[in-house]
Amino acid sequence: MSGRTHGEISGYPVGSTFLNRAQLAAAKVHRPLQGGICGGKDGAESIVVSGGYVDDEDYGDEIVYTGQGGNDPATKRQVGHQELTLGNAGLARNQLEGNPVRVIRGAGGDPSFSPPAGFRYDGLFRVVDHWRADGKDGFRIWRFRLVSLDNIDQPPIMDDAEVHAPTVIQRQVRSGPLAVKVKKLYGYHCQICDTRLETPAGPYAEAAHVRPLGRPHNGPDSLDNILCLCPNHHVLFTSGAIWIGEHLEVLDVATGQQAGTVRMAAEHAIAPSHLAYRAALHP
């Protein structure tokens, strides 16, 4: 089990305030005195959002958070590239495991959502996505979409109260009418490996949006942006483990080798611009 505390710190409910970083550290709500992310390769526990990064976007229940590194604390501008290591790797790991991070806002952040002074613990957020981008200052950054658990993770009611606390959503697959249309077009066969999962209630496949839906990507929910994949290839595709080139070749990012070709139905095409958008999200 991870030695990290993915959850609330006893005695510090949502809304708890702190005068400074030393108090936050003493409470173990955010342990490092300087870094914005408390985390490493094994996961992240907490982050501070305090206006230190020019690319941060705060929408209250949702935050597009910039990873750590390449930043000049004096000017808050990016002066170098960021890597998917240290705390950035931790936030990505949280997404894979479904573990939440504690979000602490500081007075320097977006005035609509930040405390007037000091720091405030604002609850648990889930890392729902991460991707690479070119920041406003022209350097490569990593971005993380965080959504408040209050908004999305209400578990079904259960009799056993003990089950409640530790359970988080690790993965959420969305669907809709167009997703079903694409899946039917391929008979629920994965366009990469041809697998068709047969269940007693019928075949199962998942729809993968090439250019992601939602802020800030705003990919369309349209046929030319949807692939039919088995769950395993869906995970590999959206995590950036595989990459689809302009000729629909599947590349294994770790080895750089081609690992197949996306099979397309005659009446279906993926827009090259969506493939290019997706390819730019992961190195």
The count of C-alpha atoms lying within 13 angstroms of the C-alpha of 248, restricted to the half-sphere facing its C-beta, is 12
Smallest separation (angstroms) from a second copy to the CB of 206? 7
- Using CB under 8 A as the binding rule, whether residue 204 contacts a second copy is answered as yes
Site string for a second copy, 179-198 (x = CB under 8 A): xxx--x----------x-xx
- Strands 100-106 and 43-49 turn out to be parallel
Query: Which residues have C-beta within 8 Å of that of residue 89, sequence separation ≥ 6?
Result: 39, 40, 41
* C-alpha closest to that of 214 among 66, 62, 65, 92: 62
Of 26, 48, 27, 28, which Cα lies nearest the Cα of 37? Answer: 48
**Pair 190, 205: CB distance under 8 Å:** yes
178 lies in the site for a second copy, by CB under 8 A: yes
- Which position among 22, 26, 79, 158 is part of the footprint of a second copy (CB under 8 A)? 158
3-state secondary structure at position 129? strand
Per-residue contact flags (x/-) with a second copy for residues 20 to 59, judged by CB under 8 A: ---------------------x-----------------x
Taking the complex as a whole, the smallest distance from the CB of residue 25 to a second copy amounts, in Å, to: 24
Q: Please tell me whether residue 154 binds a second copy under the rule CB under 8 A.
A: yes
> At its nearest, how many Å lie between a second copy and the CB of residue 236?
6
Q: Figure out which of the listed residues 111, 138, 155, 272 binds a second copy, where binding follows CB under 8 A.
A: 155
Could you give the CA distance from residue 148 to residue 151 in angstroms, rounded to a whole number?
Answer: 5
- Least separation in angstroms between CB 132 and a second copy: 10
**Interface residues for a second copy in 115-144 (CB under 8 A)?**
128, 130
Q: Does 221 bind a second copy (CB under 8 A)?
A: yes
Alpha carbons 65 and 80: distance in angstroms, whole number: 17
State the Cα–Cα distance between residues 262 and 87, nearest whole angstrom: 34
Rounded least distance, CB 99 to a second copy, Å = 8
> In this structure, how many other beta carbons lie within 10 angstroms of the beta carbon of residue 135?
20
Task: Choose the stretch contacting a second copy; rule: CB under 8 A; options: 11-19, 29-37, 65-73, 177-185.
Answer: 177-185
Q: Hey, what amino acid is at 30?
A: H
- Rule CB under 8 A: which of 238-267 touch a second copy? 239-241, 253-254
**CB of 24 or CB of 207, closer to a second copy:** 207
Q: How far is the CB of 190 from a second copy (least distance, A)?
A: 9
Q: Tokens for 124?
A: 């648990």
